[in-house]
Structure 1
């Protein structure tokens, strides 16, 4: 069992964010202190509804969900209905959440938690870095107060997924990303954020057989195949609620990747970052100084890493340089399958 981890999660849910959140709920050693909502894949209110519903489905209704920023720091918000669907969750139709959004501001909630538990909390950021940048403005000591930081974002000497050079999260709010990396400049190596960028998250390539394996692990006796030849929008028939909803999300994501000539796959970036934060996957890192471009129009949102110290500036990140996809999928399927059986109850878990 990994050592206990207490997380502050900031997300813009999003299909891969949803998978990451469900995965974290499957980990008994992970305490979800709060989930904050940043606009990105969808607007902040929709992010909050998705998070509330997913936490309830995953057996963690007590986790507070709070909204912070409602737009990037300096530019208009651009969302991704073509990638994640108009509600951010593909074809899934989640139950209406019974709980309510936390009445306080997410940024204030994070700062209060970090001050109350110095050195204990890890920040996991799978969204544009807007909320975290605002938190750093309000509490510049946050890098020292937090135990660690894990960021999903950026693309380093690797093709972008939004422009030829820029990754989505960073492109949505590059000004916030630039402020975040600047805040960590010169800190000790163990305090630098661990950055999960496209060159390693795109190696976590989910395929239909992974969904089928998850359904079997969850106890579905006859899981429906998720195949490229099926009509668009076909819904899952799995009786297990969590498997059904995740399958309906992922089917949309598979179709999106196929429509953009990447194959019938899904890059589940945020799951990998969540597993890094939870301490359940192996990975290597390289220390670097990160620059985020906020001026040049064609390079807007591009992230550049100086691994060799050529700029003569202090490092501000540890960029993941290697990971193990097969092990990561074994971990995901085992853990999510166990969670799905648990939250479904014995009377529903065994019917496919």
Structure 2
């Protein structure tokens, strides 16, 4: 049986890498993209989501999400990392399609009623839509098969502050509500994403093996890699968002820990993800009553890379 997937996304170069993987994978049925701010503004994310799906011949729905965080003022989008258009200035033709009549939260609620216990929600941007979803229909937590979140840094340092990862930092209050909810949640933090690098050679091979999907991704990756080279000295770029989907399709590539999660919502450490492994105790009261979730704390890079290339190449055939 295929995995029925909704991706909550702010496309975004690594978002595009994840969306391409979802389209290509024979075991994934992509139902929809729901959009959120982060790498770009929400209306730009909606435009980009529609453009990608049309460009790659996928008729999944696109439902627009929240335009601002729950509590804090919105941060400037990550144009420095992803380019002003979100695609590293690579031109993807605009779609003539319209967004869905329902907003993101209501779309997910309705889809979860249509397919109870079948949908995996992969959130690869700030978690505002998920917090709104829980607010409108707390019972949705019982109808989703799984919730996979790309975000946070558990044992590693952050990427927008010394302690905070971008998706969590962009709406820490929403993230804290999502982590407090009793639903089957798996977290893909920087701990599992940073070990993987898409090198220029890897992206060129991808473009050669699958021109339709790989050529625009390789062009985007050139822009993305310039950021990683200048800021981290990496020879390539990190495909963060793909991890949320790879957990479904190649779980053996990851090492997991179980534990409770919470988020710092003010002060100098705002956006920091705190993790208390299951079976341990501390005097931090923020974990009281919190459910244990699964956290992907490490990755086998070679297994991950081999899977990504295999899936994309198979699609080309």
Residues 192 and 316, structure 1, Cα contact 8 Å, conserved in 2: no
Q: 1:10-21 maps to which residues of 2 (within 5 A)?
A: 10-21=8-19
2: CA distance, partners of 1:161 / 1:272: 17
Q: 2:294 aligns with which of 289, 301, 318?
A: 318
Deviations 1:155-191 (A, max 9, x none): 012110000000000000000001111112xxxxxx5
Q: Distance in 1 between matches of 2:213 and 2:153?
A: 32
Q: How does 1:228-267 map to 2 (within 5 A)?
A: 240-267=211-238
Aligned to 1:187: none
Q: Which has the larger radius of gyration?
A: 1
What is the match of residue 130 of structure 1?
A: 128
8 Å Cα contact 2:8/2:35 also seen in 1: yes
The answer to whether structure 1 residue 309 and structure 2 residue 285 are counterparts is no
Residue 308 (structure 2) aligned to one of 317, 329, 332: 332
CA drift of 1:313 comes to 4.1
Q: Residues 261 and 290 of structure 2 are in contact (CA less than 8 Å); yes or no, is this contact kept in structure 1?
A: no
1, 4, 12: which one aligns with 2:2: 4
1:117-153 CA-partner distances (Å, limit 9, x unpaired): 2111111000100000000000111221111111000
What is the TM-score when the length of structure 1 is the normalising length? 0.84
**More displaced, 137-146 or 318-327?**
318-327
What does the per-residue CA deviation read over 1:274-303, in whole Å, with 9 as the maximum and x for residues that have no partner? 2113456532321111110002x2100001
SS at the partner of 2:275?
strand
Q: 2:66 aligns with which of 63, 69, 84?
A: 69
Deviations 1:88-144 (A, max 9, x none): 110310012132211221111100111222111111000100000000000111221
Cα deviation per residue 1:230-277 (whole Å; 9 max; x = unaligned)? xxxxxxxxxx34332111210010001112133232111101212113
Of 187, 203, 207, the residue aligned with 1:215 is 207
- Residue 20 of structure 2: aligned partner: 22
The residue number in structure 1 matching 2:268 is 298
Cα distance in 1 between the residues matched to 2:73 and 2:163: 20
Runs of 4+ with deviation above 6 angstroms: none
TM-score by length of 2: 0.93
Structure 2's unaligned 5+ residue stretches are none
CA distance in 1, matches of 2:251, 2:296: 15
How many residues in Structure 1 have an aligned counterpart in Structure 2?
Answer: 310
How much does 1:213 deviate?
1.8
- Which ranges in structure 1 are unaligned for 5 or more consecutive residues? 185-190, 219-239, 343-352
1:27 is displaced (CA, Å) by 1.1
User: Could you tell me which residue of structure 2 aligns to residue 204 of structure 1?
Assistant: 196
**Aligned-pair CA distance for 1:13:** 0.7
CA distance in 1, matches of 2:247, 2:31: 17
Contact 2:7–2:123 (8 Å) recurs in 1: yes
RMSD: 1.6
> What does residue 193 of structure 1 align with?
185
